[in-house]
Amino acid sequence: MNGYGFRHAARMERIKLGSVRSTWWLAIAAVVSMAAAGAGVGLGYRSHTPVATAAQILNNSLGGAIVAQLLLGALGVLMVTGEYGTGMIRSTFAAVPRRRIVLAAKVAVCGGAALTVGLVASFAGYLSGQLAIRGTAIPAASLGDPAILRAVVLTGVYLGVTALIGVGIGTIVRHSGAAIGTLFGLMFVPMIVAGLFGESGIRVGRFVPLLMLLNSIAVTSPVPGLFSSWISALLMCGYAAVAILCGGMLLRHRDA
């Protein structure tokens, strides 16, 4: 891959990403949704009996990631489909004829931006939850605890990776509505299917993104039978890699 070509393409993608209004709205909404969920959980537990544990507060405070993942996933989708919708993709390929460089630039720029937003959102959820329980008997969840820090950081990583899955799906589908619908379906439908099998569905459920998020990644202690938080996070990265590789293969052989 030509270094100059990639830098040029990445610079173009940064400009386009920052100039689109939806980028900022989706990023802000992701952070706000996490912060609101954290504050709501903290306020709800202030008078709860028995007194909640630090792990309960943290696990529930990060629950806003359910909404945030969809917002950042949509951001990743629109990074690609927005250009197809306006026809700008033809100009992009004219400026950078090597399509794999264009896709690599989109992945790098979107990944960096989404990871940053994801981490900010995750820490916002954590902090708002902790602020909401101040002055109560509920123990604080310290970031000095490796389990607490791991849950917060990996939740942010999960959100960033979801955006990359969105880039892959957007490249495959190319239509904004269909791609976002596909993303939403992939996040929720497998969880519903796994739930139909009860406890025996755990063998399938541990591969399902939303179940990994709620029961392995965004918690201090993974549910028995599921993968560890680190393996779940790596599995999400694998899903993103597969989506992007499939999109890249189609991108090379289809007309703009």
Contact partners, residue 224, CB within 8 Å, separation at least 6:
none
What does the pLDDT read at residue 191? Answer: 86
For helices 146-173 and 99-132, the axis angle rounded to 10 degrees is 140
What does the pLDDT read at residue 256? Answer: 58
Tell me the one-letter amino acid at 8.
Answer: H
pLDDT tens-digit readout, 43-59: 998 887 788 888 899 99
Instruction: Give the confidence band of 3 by pLDDT, cuts at 50, 70, 90.
Output: low
Please compute, for residue 86, the number of CA atoms within 13 A of its CA located in the half-sphere on the CB side.
11
pTM of the model: 0.93
Q: Is the confidence at residue 1, as pLDDT, over 60? A: no
Contact partners, residue 181, CB within 8 Å, separation at least 6:
none
Q: Is the confidence at residue 101, as pLDDT, over 60? A: yes
Find out whether 218 and 129 touch, Cβ atoms under 8 Å: no
137-153: average pLDDT: 93
- Of the listed ranges 127-141, 165-179, 230-244, the least confidently predicted one is 127-141
pLDDT tens-digit readout, 220-232: 888 888 899 999 9
